[in-house]
């Protein structure tokens, strides 16, 4: 499968979100990556449901919603109504992860689980066959523009091995500090979806930057 690109709107121009939504619509990007932060699970507050609802009618690509919040299971129906296609919870924030994944599927969304940089891939052993996506954080969650943690390369290989061994359909997604210095190696090691915030939106030509990431091969 050709890898997918999911630009993170966290780095977009919030004073003119419509422009950046249209930029993604007209680019080779595959998904919108939407970072929801509650100021409790992570030390930052980003944006929430009203923003999703207001951009959903403009957006022509799926909403990949990354929930950096405690008790994400409380908001499954709410985010479904706001337009989420992929509901992605942190392993560290989910006590009853299996139940949460089932409820996400029952609500008609794809289910993703995210691992913080310190959380080993092995914790997914007994849930991987239920998942549509696993996100490996390559920075500590909470902020855009941080430096890529190189240990992520090994984790991609370990996750790929687990997915193959368990015959799982889960896609491997990487989020944090992704740019042209690490994207090729990530894809080479098995990444299926690259999230990029600053690298896309702080570039002089975001559409060309997305195209560049999309056209990488190994």
Binding site for ligand DX5 (CB under 6 A): 8, 10-11, 33, 35, 66, 139, 141-146, 175-178, 195-199
Q: Closest separation between CB of residue 188 and ligand DX5, Å?
A: 19
Place of tokens 């690298």: 199
Three-class SS state of 191: coil
Closest approach of ligand DX5 to the CB of residue 57, in Å: 23
Residue pair 12/200 in contact (Cβ under 8 Å)? The answer is no
Site string for Zn ion, 39-68 (x = CB under 5 A): ---------------------------x--
144 labeled binding residue: yes
188: left (phi over 0), alpha (psi -120 to 50) or beta: alpha
Residue nearest to ligand DX5 (CB): 197
**Considering beta carbons, is residue 65 or 101 the nearer one to ligand DX5?**
65
Q: Using the rule CB under 5 A, is 90 a contact of Zn ion?
A: no
Is 192 part of the annotated catalytic residue set? no
Report yes or no: 12 and 1 within 8 Å, Cβ to Cβ. Answer: no
CA dist 120 and 114 (Å) reads 11
DSSP 8: B
**Which one, 11 or 210, has the nearer CB to ligand DX5?**
11
Residue number with CB closer to ligand DX5 (129 or 205): 205
Torsion of CA 74, 79, 81, 85, to 10 degrees: -130
Residue 172 tokens read as: 């491997």
> Using the rule CB under 5 A, is 175 a contact of Zn ion?
yes
Q: Is residue 169 classed as helix, strand or coil in its secondary structure?
A: coil
35 near Zn ion, judged by CB under 5 A: yes
Contact criterion met (CB below 8 Å) for 109 and 87: yes
For ligand DX5, the closer of residues 128 and 195 by Cβ is: 195
Q: Please tell me the distance from the alpha carbon of residue 21 to that of residue 3, in angstroms, as a whole number.
A: 21
13 is annotated as an active-site residue: no
Catalytic option among 35, 64, 132, 192: 35
Q: Which residue is nearest to Zn ion (CB)?
A: 66
User: 145 labelled as ligand-binding?
Assistant: yes
**Continuous segment of H or E residues that includes residue 111:** strand 110-115
Supply the residues annotated as catalytic: 35, 175
**Binding annotation for a divalent metal cation:** 33, 35, 66, 175
**Binding annotation:** 8, 33, 35, 66, 142-145, 175-177, 197-198
């Amino acid at each position: 499968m050709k890898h997918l690109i999911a630009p993170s709107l966290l780095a977009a121009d919030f004073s003119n979100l419509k422009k950046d939504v249209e930029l993604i619509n007209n680019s080779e990007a595959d998904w919108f990556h939407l970072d929801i932060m509650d100021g409790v699970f992570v030390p930052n507050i980003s944006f929430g449901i009203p923003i999703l609802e207001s951009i959903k009618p403009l957006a022509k690509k799926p909403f990949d919603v990354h929930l950096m919040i405690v008790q994400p299971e409380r908001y499954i129906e709410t985010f479904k109504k706001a337009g989420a296609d992929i509901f992605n919870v942190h392993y560290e924030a989910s006590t009853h992860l299996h139940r949460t994944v089932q409820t996400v599927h029952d609500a008609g969304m794809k289910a993703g689980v995210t691992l913080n940089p310190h959380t080993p891939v092995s914790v997914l052993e007994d849930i991987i066959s239920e998942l549509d996506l696993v996100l490996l954080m390559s920075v500590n969650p909470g902020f855009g523009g941080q430096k890529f943690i190189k240990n992520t390369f090994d984790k991609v290989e370990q996750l790929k091995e687990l997915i193959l061994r368990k015959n799982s359909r889960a896609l491997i997604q990487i989020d944090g500090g992704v740019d042209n210095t690490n994207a090729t190696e990530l894809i080479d090691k098995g990444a299926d979806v690259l999230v990029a915030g600053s690298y896309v939106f702080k570039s002089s030509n975001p559409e060309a930057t997305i195209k560049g990431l999309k056209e990488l091969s190994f």
